Structure 1
Amino acid sequence: MPLRIIPATLRDLSYIAANLRPEDRAEIDCQLDHWSPALLALTALQGFAYVAELDGNPEAGFGAAEQRGGLWIAWSWGTRRMRRCVPGITAFFHTVLGPQVAARGAWRVEARALAANRLALRWLGRLGATQRSLLPGYGRNGEDFFLYDWTREGWNHVPVSKTTGTEAAAADADSRGQGHAGARGGAAD
């Protein structure tokens, strides 16, 4: 069975969070004092949330959530099989998730990665993110992180001309201008 990208559910994200690959577990452990797979999954369902399924099994969760007007945080984590999902997630990011976030009025999307997580750092670069700064001691035990971002001016996969017409429609989606969250909405939001 091929790779499928589907809207996230609490069940799928909880499964992935309970079976994290070591790199992702280390990154989450040093950012959160107390967490559980269910709590991480529930938190991830804010904004747009998707799951990459490989052979019918959920292997990676990813998405983006608005922190305040115009500022979004992108996230991803997965099981040991996540690497096999990365090409499909990358394509989905460029064709669906990036345009969805831009249509909701994002001016900046940030992502943080543990400095020791070389795979994540390389992937963020391939996704078109710009490495902005080292965050010394950002982790709860003094671990260093890197801050990456995408800004409206730098989105090479989301032309501003494509997003400006849809922002007004997106603002009318609900009273907060958010539209639907990943598990409740779909790729067509």
Structure 2
Amino acid sequence: MTLRIIPATLRDLSYIAANLRPEDRAEIDCQLDAWSPALLALTALQGFAYVAELDGNPEAGFGAAEQRGGLWIAWSWGTHRMKRCVPGITEFFHAVLGPKVAARGAWRVEARALAANELALRWLIRLGATQRCRLPGYGRNGEDFLLYDWTRESWNHVPLPKAAGAEAAATDTDHRRQRRAGARGGTQG
């Protein structure tokens, strides 16, 4: 089985969203009042968005988007074949996505998961996320969610030279955070 991680397209994400595994559909259904595969795909294209292909077929979408300066939200969802993509996505997350988000000046990356979604909860732990709290009644029908995050201090997956370079550019010798042109701007890619 051949796994490739490629930049996401509206077409691939729409296909995945139209064929979600039950756990992901339940998680999305209780967060959005109304959604369609195309709308979910379009929303996911904000920030960094990738697709995991198995034998040429899109099976999982994942990525991260900046919500405000320094705060990012990580996301993922897929088809019933997503489980086969998880090892490759995990490796890509550590080697590419995490360092890209850090280089954009992220201080915190959050992910929320439906408390009943055991697969997602286990994967977040494997990705190095820290469980912060339960969000009672977060879902539109009262479903509980769990909030996980990665902070600059807890990122054990970001290679030190890449993380230190982004931090050094934003800090002066007195360790006060400095604004610098381009720290949060520019095109994403």
Q: Which residue of 2 aligns with 1:89?
A: 89
Contact 1:113 1:146 in 2 (8 A): yes
Q: Which residue of 1 aligns with 2:124?
A: 124
CA displacement at 1:165 relative to structure 2 = 2.4
CA displacement at 1:163 relative to structure 2 = 2.4
CA spacing shift, 1:161–1:42, aligned 2, 3 Å: same
CA displacement at 1:173 relative to structure 2 = 5.9
Contiguous gaps of at least 5 residues in structure 2: 171-179
Q: Which amino acid aligns with 1:134?
A: R
Q: Which amino acid aligns with 1:29?
A: D
CA displacement at 1:161 relative to structure 2 = 4.2
- Provide, for residues 154-185 of structure 1, a one-character-per-residue CA deviation record: whole Å limited to 9, x for no partner: 0001145422424759x7669x51432xxxx3
Aligned residue for 1:94, secondary structure, equals helix
Q: Which amino acid aligns with 2:44?
A: A
Distance in 2, Cα, partners of 1:128 & 1:40: 26
Q: Which residue of 2 aligns with 1:103?
A: 103
Q: Which residue of 2 aligns with 1:2?
A: 2
Q: Which moved more, 1:152-161 or 1:65-74?
A: 152-161
Contact 1:173 1:179 in 2 (8 A): no
Q: Which residue of 1 aligns with 2:158?
A: 158
Identity across aligned pairs (percent)? 86
TM-score, normalising length: structure 1? 0.90
Aligned residue for 1:80, secondary structure, equals coil
Q: Which amino acid aligns with 2:86?
A: V
Coordinate RMSD, CA, aligned: 1.8
Which residues of 2 match residues 1-189 of structure 1 at below 5 A? 1-166=1-166, 177-180=185-188, 185=189
Distance in 1, Cα, partners of 2:65 & 2:127: 17
Distance in 1, Cα, partners of 2:131 & 2:56: 34
Distance in 1, Cα, partners of 2:61 & 2:74: 11
Distance in 2, Cα, partners of 1:32 & 1:178: 30
Distance in 1, Cα, partners of 2:46 & 2:135: 25
- For this pair of structures, how many residues does the alignment match? 179
TM-score, normalising length: structure 2? 0.90
Contact 1:152 1:160 in 2 (8 A): no
Q: Which amino acid aligns with 1:82?
A: M
Distance in 2, Cα, partners of 1:160 & 1:83: 29
Q: Which residue of 1 aligns with 2:175?
A: none
Aligned residue for 1:88, secondary structure, equals helix
